[in-house]
Structure 1
Amino acid sequence: MQADWVVKLVMVLLILASVYVWAIAFEKFTSLARARKEADDFEDRFWRGGSLDELYRAQGEHPSHPMAAVFVIGMREWHASTASGAGAFMVAGTRERVERAMAVTIQREMERMEKRMTFLASTGSAAPFVGLFGTVWGIMNSFTAIAGMQNTNLAVVAPGIAEALFATAMGLVAAIPAVLIYNMLSSKFAKFAGRLEGFSSEFGAILARQTEAAAQARLSAAAPTAAE
């Protein structure tokens, strides 16, 4: 409490950064666990073999979790691409458009989920240096006290050294959890993104098969008419 105001400012900033790091960690772990549970429930319904159109209508225009968003965008683009019934051109371009739309959705959803992750990385890299600034300032105070009192007694230098050591400790308290949490969350987000990409690939293949089947049906229906 008797530290220099500069060292106090450094300590307050590091304490606030540490609190915010833990707040981000709680929010991210909670939201990721919820997203994984919702993805499990959605995949159970998806692979039951029911109607894709019924599942699409059940999700609505604004799906509540990333996997449902990927599904809805894929179905929306598929309906838009196949509505015209463009024959062979429909088969050639539909899958590409659907996959591109789902890839953009995955990127957007992951950016939303990973929001504020940059703060964790910045805190992990910058907090030790902020603490080091407080350390240097505290040591400067110790040398100033020595020069002013012409005395190297421990009572003269101890306050500045204590400030310096405490600032260093606060920097580490903020930085170490930030680095560990960032690495853990990055790994979990990467796995979840891979899960979304795997789902989009399988879903794209299903839509491609349905597109090909619809095109074949159109050709078969048009063949007798052409023969006549």
Structure 2
Amino acid sequence: MPPLESILSPGLQYGLDHGNLTCWIICGLLLLLSVTSWAVILSKHFLLSRVQRANLSFLREYRESNHALELFQRREHHEYSPYYHIYHAACREMAWYLLGEDEPGDTFAARLQGAGRITPSQMGAVQNAMERSVAEAALRLEARMSWVATSLSGAPFLGLLGTVWGILDTFSQLATKNGALDLATLAPGVTTALVTTVLGLLVAIPSMICYNGIVSRIRGIVVRLDNFASELSAGLDRTFVDHRFSNEVLPSMSALGSPSMPAFSGSNASPLPSAMHAFHSRA
């Protein structure tokens, strides 16, 4: 492995060689942000890859099943698949309305054969359970991404703080010295001050690229979760929901009674003709 001096640029190496306490504190904070950001980025990358593989595996089994509740009856378990959690939440709610139990027992298949259908309003509760599961999956996928956002937005400002601080220190030291100022006198302080800005950008730019890539992958997964929930809802609706109209007859208009209109009497018996007569008289 080549030495660090051969990797760094000469200017960056010169600034680090002449670094002061403020420079090293800022560099330490930037290093902490970088390590935290990369830890979250790598963990999210492996998690999203595992989630996508688990989703494909569950979706293949679901579409090969004989009926919508078969995997629920067989108690299939896919821990890393949000599809599975959406499916399981919907099946638990559906089983509760169909059979009065939210977990498949030994007689689940036999009881399901004699079960009736649920109403559209009960199907709405099943859809609400799926929507809650989609929202919880999105929150789990987006967890800890705020650390990466903090790194990409905070690192440049932290580096700029170190640069401004270092330049102020440089000019304050020059003000106390006597004699002519030359480039050799200014170079160490200015170069050290600029090192923090360079390191801040080196932390922020990779974080920004990786953040945008991971957020795009998460959004794609959430959209597919919504699509799967819609597909599952349609399948359950066709199989288990009774959309027939009720036989209840609405009451007739005569049964409701005739509307009563207030009668005018006395001085209020003919307000409209008087007003019209006055209008025609003025005309």
TM-score (norm 2): 0.70
Is the CA contact 1:73–1:105 (under 8 Å) kept in the aligned structure 2?
Answer: yes
Question: Equivalent residues in 2 for 1:135-150 (5 A)?
Answer: 135-150=163-178
1:195 aligned to which of 224, 237, 252? 224
Is the CA contact 1:7–1:134 (under 8 Å) kept in the aligned structure 2?
Answer: yes
Distance in 2 of aligned mates of 1:157 and 1:141? 11
2:120 aligned to which of 87, 92, 111? 92
Aligned to 1:224: none
Runs of 4+ with deviation above 3 angstroms: 51-54, 84-88
Aligned to 1:101: 129
Per the alignment, do residues 93 and 83 of structure 1 end up closer, same or farther by CA in structure 2, a change over 3 Å counting?
farther
Is the CA contact 1:82–1:94 (under 8 Å) kept in the aligned structure 2?
Answer: no
Per the alignment, do residues 86 and 42 of structure 1 end up closer, same or farther by CA in structure 2, a change over 3 Å counting?
closer
Instruction: Give a deviation string over 1:49-101, Cα, whole Å, max 9, x none.
Output: 334433113335x844211111111101111122359978x322122111111
Deviation at 1:48, TM superposition (A): 0.9
Which segments of 5 or more consecutive residues in structure 1 lack a partner in the other structure? 217-228
Residue 95 (structure 2) pairs with residue 54 (structure 1): no
Look up the equivalent residue of 1:25 and give its one-letter code.
I
Deviation at 1:163, TM superposition (A): 1.6
Is the CA contact 1:18–1:173 (under 8 Å) kept in the aligned structure 2?
Answer: no
2:181 aligned to which of 141, 152, 163? 152
Which segments of 5 or more consecutive residues in structure 2 lack a partner in the other structure? 1-16, 101-113, 245-283
Is the CA contact 1:124–1:176 (under 8 Å) kept in the aligned structure 2?
Answer: yes
Per the alignment, do residues 182 and 114 of structure 1 end up closer, same or farther by CA in structure 2, a change over 3 Å counting?
same
Is the CA contact 1:10–1:167 (under 8 Å) kept in the aligned structure 2?
Answer: yes
Aligned to 2:202: 173
Is the CA contact 1:59–1:72 (under 8 Å) kept in the aligned structure 2?
Answer: no
Residue 60 (structure 2) pairs with residue 44 (structure 1): yes
1:23 aligned to which of 36, 39, 43? 39
Moved more, 34-43 or 79-88: 79-88
Is the CA contact 1:140–1:160 (under 8 Å) kept in the aligned structure 2?
Answer: no
Is the CA contact 2:166–2:189 (under 8 Å) kept in the aligned structure 1?
Answer: yes
Per the alignment, do residues 134 and 181 of structure 1 end up closer, same or farther by CA in structure 2, a change over 3 Å counting?
same
Counting aligned pairs with the same residue, the percent is 31
2:160 aligned to which of 104, 126, 132? 132
Distance in 2 of aligned mates of 1:101 and 1:136? 54
Aligned to 2:145: 117
Look up the equivalent residue of 2:87 and give its one-letter code.
F
Distance in 2 of aligned mates of 1:20 and 1:2? 27
Aligned to 1:219: none
Residue 46 (structure 2) pairs with residue 34 (structure 1): no
Look up the equivalent residue of 2:85 and give its one-letter code.
A
Residue 30 (structure 2) pairs with residue 14 (structure 1): yes
- Larger RCO, structures 1/2 (Cα 8 Å, 6+ apart): 1
Larger Rg: 2
Give 3-state SS (helix, strand or coil) of 1:82's partner: helix
User: Number of residues paired by the alignment?
Assistant: 214
Give 3-state SS (helix, strand or coil) of 2:31's partner: helix
Distance in 2 of aligned mates of 1:80 and 1:63? 22
Deviation at 1:119, TM superposition (A): 1.2
Look up the equivalent residue of 1:58 and give its one-letter code.
R
Aligned alpha-carbon RMSD (Å): 2.3
2:237 aligned to which of 208, 212, 216? 208
TM-score (norm 1): 0.85
Deviation at 1:22, TM superposition (A): 1.4
Distance in 1 of aligned mates of 2:177 and 2:66? 85
Distance in 1 of aligned mates of 2:238 and 2:86? 18
Greater helix fraction, Structure 1 or Structure 2: 1
Is the CA contact 2:123–2:241 (under 8 Å) kept in the aligned structure 1?
Answer: no
